[in-house]
Amino acid sequence: SQTIHQWPATLVQPVGSPLSLECTVEGTSNPNLYWYRQAAGRGLQLLFYSVGIGQISSEVPQNLSASRPQDRQFILSSKKLLLSDSGFYLCAWNKAGGMDEQYFGPGTRLTVT
């Protein structure tokens, strides 16, 4: 069966510090991978998605970037965090083709102080 991992689970970082969140998927190959952010009490906002190694599509211009160095690894980064980067970050995957249901990781709660 497939599983998706995210770490860390929680993170408190000062403004201006760098960020690296990691997501890995097991039990499948060539998945589509997604990063979402959820602000408090809000819906999810798509940040990035990837259909293959090195292929990243950005949905929202911002202080963040994403990379996919391996087939089942997706990384969200920032060089300098802003207060507005606080939120709940969720990684998800689905099968190539991209239209069907997505499977979400447990999320990372990021607080920028």
Partner 1 sequence: SQQGEEDPQALSIQEGENATMNCSYKTSINNLQWYRQNSGRGLVHLILIRSNEREKHSGRLRVTLDTSKKSSSLLITASRAADTASYFCATPLGGLNFGKGTSLLVTP
Query: Interface residues with partner 1 (CB under 8 A)?
Result: 34, 36, 42-46, 49, 57, 59, 88, 90, 92, 98-107, 109
Rounded-to-integer distance, Cα 2 and Cα 108, Å: 19
Q: Find the shortest distance in angstroms from Cβ 32 to partner 1.
A: 8
Q: Find the shortest distance in angstroms from Cβ 98 to partner 1.
A: 7
Q: Classify burial at 42, counting beta carbons within 10 Å of its beta carbon; exposed 0-12, middle 13-18, buried 19 or more.
A: exposed
In the bound state with partner 1, the residue whose beta carbon lies nearer, of 17 and 30, is 30
